[in-house]
Chain A
Amino acid sequence: MRRIHTPLYADHAATTPVRREVREALARCAEEALGNPSSGHGWGRRARRRLEEARRSAAESLGTTPRRVFFTRGGTESDNLAVLGRARHQRTEGAACPLVVTSSIEHPAVFEAAGQVVAEGGRHVVVATDAGGGLDFDALRAALRERPAVASFMWVNNETGLALPVAEVAAECRAHGVPFHSDAVQAVGKVHVSLAEVPAELLTVTGHKIYGPMGTGVLVATEPRALLPLHVGGGQEGGLRPGTEDVAGAVGLAEALRLAVEERRSEADRLGVLRDDVEARVLGRVAEMAVACDEGPRAPHISSLRVVGADSDTLLAALDADGVAASGGSACASGSSSPSRTLTAFYPGDQAASLRLSFGRATRRRHVDRIVEAVAHAIECARAAAA
């Protein structure tokens, strides 16, 4: 029987609702009669001022300087620009076969960009990563000695919450003179992200994972001239991202970023306690299941549950029918669960269904009972469907 409950959102790693302060900032932009930031008149000047304020704010939040902050239209675009842009630039400098190095658990925005580098005649070296967050540093150093165009290692994995040792990777890259890129989409607001401490040459951030607008992103680039842009046009964003700037989007993203960083410590602590509670109680109730990467350092907002003998699609459907939003490995175009590269890398041959719960501002202490109840019931359904 369908149980009627208020809907409960436990899919913050997929996207987050736009928070009030950001909505207000967006509304102010809409009311302000902003011109095109490239225009010389008053309307244009006002828009430019907003845009540059947003850039300053974003830079401050990330521990970098405004000159290095470039607004893009999202995380995928930033990742593509970092990986493809670097490889293509290296080719213009005479590298016949540009190399990119990544972890084995990157988001498709990085992994597929690396695939494109290969399609264009380059190479892609994958450095093995384990479920405990360990990395094959010997393989990394061997790859770095080949002077790759870029080494890209995500800060926090989107499927499991696993945190990679980015500070060590950044140090190795620096020692070898290789630009280091990190996709920090799942890290900002959950773990400490500061370019003042981890010297990444390239960093990806997106707005919609931190209660900002969808379709907004930042690429931090310390050497923008060493990137070939993906688009051609009017030269906006230092030529890295041509096209009239999304001023309101940049303002909204900067405000979301400021708040995420400001509230990071207390919110991360709160989510960590809540996540541990959910995991302990689900594991206490349901046999034959485990938490992925629980031996490694994890960001506090993601629980990746591995459920033996269950049908993953039914698991998610049953949760949805119960009013709880969660996801499988990661959202795939078809909407069905597809074998996750991350989980396959960590647990090869394992047939368990995976369920990703991801917590955020909408998740409250009082929801824990309900989440545990719904997950236990959904697993029961999914096991019946797989029987």
Chain B
Amino acid sequence: MRAGNGTAGRRRRILVAMSGGVDSSVAAARLVEAGHEVIGATMKTFCYSGTPASAKTCCGLDGIQDARRVADELGIPHYVFDVEDEFTRDVIDDFVHEYSRGRTPNPCVRCNSNTKFRDLFKRGRALGCHGVASGHYARLDRTADQPRLLRGLDPAKDQSYFLWGLPAGLLGKLHFPVGELDKAAVRERARALGLVTADKPESQEICFVPTGNYRDLLGKRLLPTHPALSPGPLVDWTGRIVGRHDGYSGFTVGQRKGIGGGRPEAWFVLEIRPETREVVVGPREMLDATRIVMGGLNWLATPPPPGARIQVQIRYRAPALACRVEACGADRLELAMEAPAKAATPGQSGVLFDGDRVLGGGRIAHARGEAAPACATTSSPPTRRTA
């Protein structure tokens, strides 16, 4: 099988998305080595002025300068594309909207699904590019009729989780030149090439939240009186008020921090109810989900029929969990878990795999568990559901 690093084949003009980090630097270098005509591109996703912390994130001004330096070293042109309008609409607005209704968004998925590949490639295509490349740790198998998106070879770095939302029609145009390498090999390659980004630390923060606290952004984008930023009750699964919180947007299902202690066992956020501003808390086993319902689906393969046994990954760097397709509709997928899943968080991505292959994915709408909390025999467990 020629599972593609995407660098082989005939000479093409390829746009490579360069963040200024080491992975995309090496991705560009490998495409150049493979003889392609490579154009480096960095997206300007938001306004950097007045953000002293911008240098810390891969998309800040320093990122642009590093990307440009690497492109110069590789002898390829490099352009900055202002995609602020599109990024604001598809990523930042969605991010704020999701938190405002008690869900936990996945902005990197939104950016890959919309901005980085679709909007950036639109510009690339106008420049005569045949394909678009990135430094994601993922692979493409081009041997089949329809290209298949596969996990990156390095399980510690695999980033296929973030790519489920790509337009399926774009798969044939994509290149992931570092998908067959591990991180150490990428750094080694960057050092060997003398790239300035060889030893640059990993970026972990959300690029448009330079302060590292997303609540600062919500505070700027929502009215101070918005329910998501207003105090509300912390309740247990029976509805009993056990405390107060200062805005449900500060919580994520599965979170332990911020709900107070003093109990014999640790409690976690089980559910967020924006309509009543309630944050429901309870013991860990109540997070167990045996059924996961997803919406906002995107398929990179033929949708699996009911009864199909597949795997679902519900967070980055977590193992994929075996499940059975219960129902698969136009925009609703119901999965029965073989073993309970911990904290399926509404709004987060559920990425569907068949082994190494990404079939598609969606956003977790809600999850349902069956475990009754050990300490509560008198009440039924909550149904975890959001608007």
Nearest B residue (CB) for A318: B127
Query: In this assembly, does B79 line the interface, its C-beta being within 8 Å of a C-beta of chain A?
Result: yes
Q: Which residues B42-81 have CB closer than 8 A to chain A?
A: 44, 48, 61, 64, 68, 77-81
The secondary structure that dominates the B interface is mixed
Q: Say yes or no: A385 contacts B82, CB within 8 Å.
A: no
**Total number of B residues with any Cβ neighbor in A under 8 Å:** 20
Nearest B residue (CB) for A335: B80
From B98-106, B118-126, B258-266, B310-318, the one touching the partner chain is B118-126
Q: Say yes or no: A334 contacts B128, CB within 8 Å.
A: no
Q: Say yes or no: A313 contacts B81, CB within 8 Å.
A: yes
Contact with B along A353-386 (1 / 0, CB 8 A): 0000000000000000000000000000110110
Q: Say yes or no: A2 contacts B79, CB within 8 Å.
A: no
Q: Looking at the assembled complex, report how far the CB atom of A342 sits from the nearest CB atom of chain B, in whole angstroms.
A: 17
Q: Looking at the assembled complex, report how far the CB atom of B48 sits from the nearest CB atom of chain A, in whole angstroms.
A: 7
What is the bound-complex CA distance between A317 and B82, given in angstroms?
12
Query: In this assembly, does A1 line the interface, its C-beta being within 8 Å of a C-beta of chain B?
Result: yes
CB contact under 8 A between A314 and B61, given known A320-B79, A321-B77: no
Q: Which residues A285-317 have CB closer than 8 A to chain B?
A: 311-314, 316-317
Q: Which of B61, B79, B128 is the one whose CB lies under 8 Å from A313?
A: B79
Query: In this assembly, does A336 line the interface, its C-beta being within 8 Å of a C-beta of chain B?
Result: yes
Q: Say yes or no: A334 contacts B127, CB within 8 Å.
A: no
Q: Say yes or no: B81 contacts A336, CB within 8 Å.
A: yes
Count contacts between A and B, CB distance < 8 Å. Answer: 61
CB contact under 8 A between A320 and B77, given known A313-B123, A336-B44, A384-B125: yes
Query: In this assembly, does B37 line the interface, its C-beta being within 8 Å of a C-beta of chain A?
Result: yes
What is the bound-complex CA distance between A320 and B39, given in angstroms?
11
Please, which residues of chain B bring their CB within 8 A of the CB of A316? Answer: 79
Q: Say yes or no: A335 contacts B122, CB within 8 Å.
A: no
Query: In this assembly, does B13 line the interface, its C-beta being within 8 Å of a C-beta of chain A?
Result: yes
Q: Say yes or no: B127 contacts A336, CB within 8 Å.
A: no
Q: Say yes or no: A337 contacts B82, CB within 8 Å.
A: yes
Q: Say yes or no: B126 contacts A314, CB within 8 Å.
A: yes
CB contact under 8 A between A313 and B80, given known A334-B61, A336-B44: yes
Q: Which residues B117-162 have CB closer than 8 A to chain A?
A: 122-123, 125-128
What is the bound-complex CA distance between A384 and B129, given in angstroms?
13
Q: Which residues of B contact A (CB under 8 A)?
A: 13, 37, 39, 44, 48, 61, 64, 68, 77-82, 122-123, 125-128
Q: Which residues of A contact B (CB under 8 A)?
A: 1-2, 311-314, 316-318, 320-321, 333-338, 381-382, 384-385
